[in-house]
Amino acid sequence: MAEEKLLGIDLGGTTAKFAILTQEGDIQQKWTIETNILDDGIHIVDDIIASIKHRLNLYQMTAEDFVGIGMGSPGVIDRKAGTVVGAYNLNWATLQPVKEKMEKALGIPFAIDNDANVAALGERWQGAGENSPDVTFITLGTGVGGGIVAEGHLLHGVVGAAGEIGHITVDPDGFMCTCGKRGCLETVASATGVVRVARKMSEEFAGDSEIKQQIDDGEDISSKDIFDAAQEGDHFALLVVDKVCYYLGLATGNIGNMLNPSDIVIGGGVSAAGEFLLERVQKYFEQFSFTQVRESTHLKLAQLGNDAGVIGAASLALQFLGGK
């Protein structure tokens, strides 16, 4: 029989992504289904089970062909019990016994962790982290998420709140965050955060700028519009990007001072600005980190894009190796 495979699932509010991987982390099959969050999300796990059964049938595979299944999910995860609660973008307000349902229906060992954590595992294993034992991952998307791998272990903390990099305070007098606290990194470096910074700064900017004009005219602008304008030399947009990079440099500098990882990997939609973003964050990172950290901790762009989640999720199943 061929080597047993890993199955990774990246569950999100609009889609669930699936991948079948080798134990070395190579993706062999990949597919996506829509997430049906109706009726308090009661269809989600059943749809996932049905989709896996359908695919295994299609590929002429059985439960015996798998080491295990790993899943990344939003919400608060109890890794031992395999449950999820408070995943509001799935309409999962109450406790969901995901592991129990999956194992009963499929007969394959199942492991689950937070979605940002599994994305960190993915980038560490197959992406920019180059399988280093010390990697911190930050994702700049609709929110700001994070995951920390330290000395080979994903950090969870006492209640699973470790690695919530989005809630690092970067401006004590700053904007209110959805978490109830003020000045979180998420309020200034997520996609909406960048726009919020631009709106605030436009109140005091007197010069000529197309982006400022659009804001003053009440037009909808995106973080991408701001980064695009900055790359084209718009003076105001450059000031906004510089401010956002200052906050990111402050946060990553302090992460470096605390954890001294080999790599701090930046991913998510906002990081599509690439080197243009990275070199500006690097400048402030160097300002806010001390010598040994500055010389040994490297800022990098994520490499796996949307695949980080399924790859990292699949890696959770490696814990079942030899245990069947």
Least distance in Å: CB of 193 to Zn ion? 11
The distance from CA 29 to its chain's CA centroid, rounded to whole angstroms, is 22
Nearer to Zn ion, 68 or 74 (CB): 74
Nearer to Zn ion, 101 or 181 (CB): 181
Nearer to Zn ion, 42 or 179 (CB): 179
- Give the binding site for Zn ion (CB under 5 A): 167, 177, 179, 181, 184
Tracing tokens 């911190």 back to the chain, one arrives at: 136
Nearer to Zn ion, 237 or 248 (CB): 248
Show the tokens assigned to 220: 């909808």
Least distance in Å: CB of 172 to Zn ion? 13
Least distance in Å: CB of 146 to Zn ion? 12
What does DSSP assign to residue 305?
Answer: T
Q: Where are the beta strands (DSSP E) in 94-151?
A: 110-114, 135-140, 144-150
Nearer to Zn ion, 17 or 167 (CB): 167
Maximum CA extent, the chain: 70
Nearer to Zn ion, 36 or 169 (CB): 169
Nearer to Zn ion, 76 or 221 (CB): 76
Least distance in Å: CB of 190 to Zn ion? 10
Q: What b/e sequence results for 169-200 when a residue is b if at least 16 CB atoms lie within 10 Å of its CB, and e otherwise?
A: bbbeebeebeeeeebbbbbbbbbebbbbbbee
Least distance in Å: CB of 183 to Zn ion? 8
Show the tokens assigned to 266: 């930046």
CA distance 136 to 254: 12
Q: Is the Cβ–Cβ distance between 238 and 112 less than 8 Å?
A: no
Query: Which residue, among 137, 140, 147, has the nearest Cα to 113 in the 3D structure?
Result: 147
Least distance in Å: CB of 189 to Zn ion? 12
Least distance in Å: CB of 248 to Zn ion? 15
In three-state secondary structure terms, 113 is strand
Q: Is the Cβ–Cβ distance between 14 and 317 less than 8 Å?
A: no
Query: Which residue, among 81, 136, 142, 143, has the nearest Cα to 113 in the 3D structure?
Result: 81
